[in-house]
Structure formats: C-alpha cells, structure tokens
Amino acid sequence: MTGARLEHRFPPLLPKEQLHGPVLVLAAHPDDEVIACGGMLAWHASAGHRVVVVHATDGARGDPDGRFGDVAALRRDEGREALRRLGVTEVQALGFPDGELPEHAAALSARLRAIATAIRPATLYSFWFTESHRDHQALALALAGVHDAFAADCRCLLFGVNQVVAGGTLFDVGAFEAQKQDALSAFTSQLAYNDWREKILHRDHSMTVNVEDPAIQYAEVFADLRPGDLTAACARAQAALAAVRRGPA
C-alpha cells in the first residue's frame, strides 16, 4: 500500500426521509434497540411508519442480585413502556432463554424467517457482526443466515450496543434525543445496576465529531447494507475481529 492515495473516510450523514416502512427491529433483549436506535425508531413512529420490535430473549438474567422478583416479566414491561415512549406499540417476545441464544440457533433462525416473511420490512434494524454479548452475536449470525427471507431492496441498518459500528452511516437524531433519554429511563431494573443513560447521550453526541453543521449534535450510526450483502459482511467482520483478538503473530 506504500504510495497509494488515501482519501477521507468520514461516515456519511444521510437523510432519514429516504427510509420507509414497514420497519422491523430484531433485538436480543428489551433495551438493546432503544440504546442503539431509539432516536430513529422515534422518527419512524413520528413519520407514521409501521414499526415492529422483536425481543428474542426473556431477559431473565438481567437481575443477578435478585432485587426485582419476576425480572423476566418486569423487563418485558419495561421494554414495552420504553417503546411506547418512542411511539412504538407493536412488540413481539420470542421468549428464548436470556444468555442462551447460541444454543437455540436453529429455532431462532426459523422464527426470524417466519417474521421476515410475514412483515416484509422495507427497513430492518438489528446487530452488526462484532458485538460482544453472545446473544447479540447469535442474533446477528442468524440474521445473516436468513437474509434471503428479506426483499432484495430492504435497507438493513445494523447497529452496535457493546461497540459502535466503525465507518458506518449516520442519521441525525437530535430532535429525538430527549425522547430517547425518556425511553431509556423506563429500564429501572437495568439502571439499578448500571445507569448508562448519560453514557448513551455522550455516545450519540460523539458520533457527530466530524459533522461540520453545528445544528447536528446527536446521531446514531449503522452499517447500511442490503440483504444480499449480509453473508459476506458477516464473514469479513468476523475475520477482522478474530485477527484483532489474536494480535501480532
């Protein structure tokens, strides 16, 4: 690569108006989607798009100290309340055991295929392929495996919860950041262990570090792909992550 011409690779800031419904959101746990794309979901709802959120697990391991009794029911209720604050009311719970999605990969893939076929989304939100949590990883891999269940022109906006998507596409969510913070406040059982509301606020703010328009202060970032890209993107991301974790030979 010596002598090759290098160009700027700042993430593009795209107009939200090019996105359409129906919108399908695939999350591992109640709270993932609010953390990663709550601003965009609030925008979709305000635009009148149908938004369907699917939570794959019951969230039952979200209370390691046993402070809240039936935490699975509580997390389900918190997730629905958070989404209601964003204007989203269609929520499905698949009920897989929290922390065990990799052990239910075949059943998860079958459920995702059926959901994609029934809803036929024009826009999809789910996990990018370098997430740290094993449930997030399993859902991302399952999505890549059922990519053919989606329309070829579906916009697949893949997000990070544990880590942001390097080199992704930005969407301005400044008008919805306060609404997103209000939605995050619904997760009382999670905030009791780690109050990440301000952290998420700062993360969304930091995404705009190279945006020159001073009016744009908060953005959410995604890998912006089509279904036909998912398998190759998954393989490349997994290979890159494995090389980084191995370190120098």
Answer yes or no: are the C-beta atoms of 187 and 78 closer than 8 Å. yes
Better pLDDT: 17 or 3:
17
Residue 3: the pLDDT is: 57
- Tell me what the mean pLDDT of segment 13-33 comes to: 97
The mean of the pLDDT values for the chain is 95
In degrees, to the nearest 5, what angle opens at C-alpha 174 toward C-alphas 153 and 177?
A: 100
Confidence tier at 57 by pLDDT (50, 70, 90): very high
- Tell me what the mean pLDDT of segment 64-74 comes to: 91
DSSP alpha helix (H) spans, 64-104: 71-86
- Tell me what the mean pLDDT of segment 168-196 comes to: 97
Q: Poorest-confidence range of 11-25, 83-97, 228-242?
A: 228-242
Confidence tier at 202 by pLDDT (50, 70, 90): very high
User: Is the pTM of the predicted complex or chain greater than 0.75?
Assistant: yes
Residue 249: the pLDDT is: 63
Q: Poorest-confidence range of 59-68, 173-182, 238-247?
A: 238-247
Q: Give the tokens for residue 193.
A: 């262990």
- Tell me what the mean pLDDT of segment 146-151 comes to: 98
34 class by beta-carbon count within 10 Å (0-12 exposed, 13-18 middle, 19+ buried): buried
The residue ranges of every structural domain in the chain are 19-246
Residue 177: the pLDDT is: 98
The amino acid occupying position 198 is: E
Domain boundaries 19-246, CATH class: alpha beta
